[in-house]
Amino acid sequence: MVKQDRARKPRIGLFVTCVVDLMRPSVGFAAVKLLENAGCTVEVPEQTCCGQPTYNSGDRATTRSIAERTITEFRGYDYVVAPSGSCAAMIKAHYPELFADDPNWLPRANELAARTFELTSFLVDVLGVTRVDATFDGAVTYHDSCSGLRELGVRSQPRKLLASVEGLTLVEMEESDVCCGFGGTFAVKYSEISGAIVEAKAKHVVAAGAPTLLAGDLGCLLNMAGKLSRDGEPVRVRHVAEILAGMTDDPPIGVAKEAQRTGKEAAR
């Protein structure tokens, strides 16, 4: 554990993730708000991918190159925080494995791994946050993404924070801890299997009866939102950070801004 000088604010290097950067920047802004509200100073160093797609595809040479850049760019921060269990797990669990035979880079990989955390885990387990200043009118259900749950032990932390959101009710779905079928490149390599898995997941989401689905990994959310949309299900899909930060002005995942505006006008 990194020793923190309590007389100053923790300096955070935010690992935005490439999917958030390209597909849902609001998640990154929500993460910044949550961290700053918790008393941190947040910076976003130059970054690209964590290397997980190439790692899962067996391209260790490219992954090492990506990892070396990440390790270098995130030097000097007290902590590295990612609004993604899969990206945080890549850095925390797999960078040390990647450099296991390299005495030059292994100590650096271990050092970075020791101060890298998934967002809700960092807020709860490191900073001791128990409440957030947010409101949300309605019921939600929550999907536990595989990497965050199985590699980082992220399960109770998002639920603890959601319990403090005024007006929010959490309805647990059946098999919330079962894969959604995304798995990064798995969905591309094994599309039929992936499709069958997300079909089962979508049924559990709908059966829960909550109008909103939350999770902590954007890849999983995009996968589930796509399936629910194709099935004609009206479930709204959001990253948990957006709810915890009270930043829900942007439309749910997969909903165009024009469609959201039209829907609001029709409800008047």
Whether pLDDT at 3 is above 60: no
Whether pLDDT at 141 is above 70: yes
Whether pLDDT at 4 is above 90: no
**From 3-17, 33-47, 143-157, 204-218, the region with the lowest mean pLDDT:** 3-17
Which residue, chain included where needed, has tokens 């995304």? 182
Q: What pLDDT score was predicted for residue 184? A: 78
Report the pLDDT averaged over residues 153-157: 98
For the packed helices 60-73 and 106-114, what is the interaxial angle rounded to 10 degrees? 60
Contact 148, 117 (CB under 8 A): no
Q: What pLDDT score was predicted for residue 268? A: 45
Q: What pLDDT score was predicted for residue 8? A: 82
Beta strand residue intervals within 7-115, DSSP E: 11-14, 41-43, 79-82
Cα(178)–Cα(174) distance, rounded to whole angstroms?
9
Cα(91)–Cα(130) distance, rounded to whole angstroms?
26
**Interval 127-140: pLDDT, tens:** 999 999 999 999 99
Cα(32)–Cα(23) distance, rounded to whole angstroms?
17
Whether pLDDT at 173 is above 80: yes
Map residue 168 onto helix, strand or coil: strand
Cα(93)–Cα(133) distance, rounded to whole angstroms?
32
Question: Which residue ranges make up each domain of the chain?
Answer: 11-125, 130-267
Q: Any idea which architecture 130-267 has in CATH?
A: 3-Layer(aba) Sandwich (3.40)
Q: Among residues 91, 111, 113, 117, which one has the least CA distance to residue 34?
A: 117
Report the pLDDT averaged over residues 143-159: 97
pTM for the model stands at: 0.92
Whether pLDDT at 47 is above 60: yes
Q: What pLDDT score was predicted for residue 190? A: 83
Whether pLDDT at 193 is above 50: yes
**What mean pLDDT value characterizes the chain?**
93
Q: What pLDDT score was predicted for residue 146? A: 95
Q: What pLDDT score was predicted for residue 1? A: 42
Element of type H or E holding 139: strand 135-142
Q: Among residues 111, 79, 105, 92, which one has the least CA distance to residue 50?
A: 92
